[in-house]
C-alpha cells in the first residue's frame, strides 16, 4: 500500500490477515495509532510502516514477529523503548526505527547489515560503540543525543 491516495485511520482488520508475509504502508495519508491487532501478523517477514501521522504507538505490537528480516518503522511517532527481545529475531537484516520518539538501552548483540536508529535518546556512549560492531554494518545514528544514565 505504497503511495495510495487513502485517508483515515489504519484499519484494524489488517491485523486479521494472519498469513500475510509482507506489509508495506508508506506514503499514504493514513493516521495512527497502529492497531493492536497488528500483533497477530506473526508470519510477516517484511514490515514497512512509514510516515503514519499520529502513530503514537509503542513497539509492543512487534514483540512476536520473530520471522522478520526487514523492519522499517520510520517516522511514525512511535514511543517507548526498543524491545530487549530483538535478539530473538534471528532473520533480521534491516532495522530502521528512525524519526520516532524511542529511547532506552541498545542491545549489544545488534549487528545487522542495515541499521538506522536515529533515536532521540540512548543511555550512554559506550552502548553506541558496541552497536553494529560488524564491519559490514551500515549504520546511521546522526540524530542521537546521549543522555547520561542516572545511578
* Number of domains making up the chain: 1
Residue 145 lies in a domain: no
pLDDT < 70: residue spans in the chain: 1-6, 55, 104-151
Residue 113 lies in a domain: yes
Residue 24 lies in a domain: yes
Q: How many other CB atoms sit within 10 Å of the CB of residue 67? A: 16
Residue 39 lies in a domain: yes
Residue 146 lies in a domain: no
Residue 144 is predicted with a pLDDT of 41
% residues pLDDT > 90 (the chain): 30
Q: What angle do CA 74, 132, 67 make, to 5 degrees?
A: 60
Give the contacts of 97 (CB within 8 A, at least 6 positions apart).
59, 71, 73, 74, 78, 82, 116, 117, 118, 119
Residue 111 is predicted with a pLDDT of 59
Residue 105 maps to which CATH number?
Answer: 3.80.10.10
Residue 20 lies in a domain: yes
DSSP-based three-state secondary structure for 33: coil
pTM, rounded to two decimals: 0.74
90-128 burial, b at 16+ Cβ within 10 Å, e below that, comes to eebebbbbbbbebbeebbeebebebbbbbbeebbeeebb
CA separation for the pair 37, 43 (Å, rounded): 13
Closest CA to 89 of 64, 118, 117: 64
Amino acid at each position: 500500500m505504497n503511495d495510495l491516495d487513502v485517508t483515515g485511520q489504519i484499519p484494524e482488520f489488517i491485523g486479521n490477515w494472519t498469513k500475510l508475509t509482507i506489509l508495506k504502508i508508506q506514503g499514504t495519508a493514513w493516521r495512527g495509532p497502529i492497531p493492536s491487532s497488528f500483533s497477530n501478523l506473526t508470519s510477516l517477514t517484511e514490515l514497512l510502516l512509514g510516515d503514519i501521522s499520529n502513530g503514537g504507538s509503542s513497539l509492543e505490537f512487534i514483540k512476536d514477529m520473530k520471522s522478520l528480516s526487514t523492519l522499517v518503522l520510520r517516522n511514525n511517532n512511535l514511543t517507548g523503548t526498543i524491545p530487549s527481545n530483538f535478539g530473538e529475531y534471528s532473520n533480521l537484516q534491516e532495522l530502521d526505527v528512525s524519526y520516532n520518539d524511542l529511547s532506552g538501552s541498545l542491545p549489544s548483540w545488534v549487528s545487522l547489515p542495515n541499521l538506522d536508529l536515529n533515536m532521540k535518546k540512548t543511555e550512554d556512549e559506550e552502548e553506541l560503540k558496541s552497536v553494529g560492531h560488524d564491519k559490514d554494518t551500515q549504520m546511521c545514528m546522526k540524530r542521537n543525543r546521549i543522555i547520561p544514565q542516572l545511578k
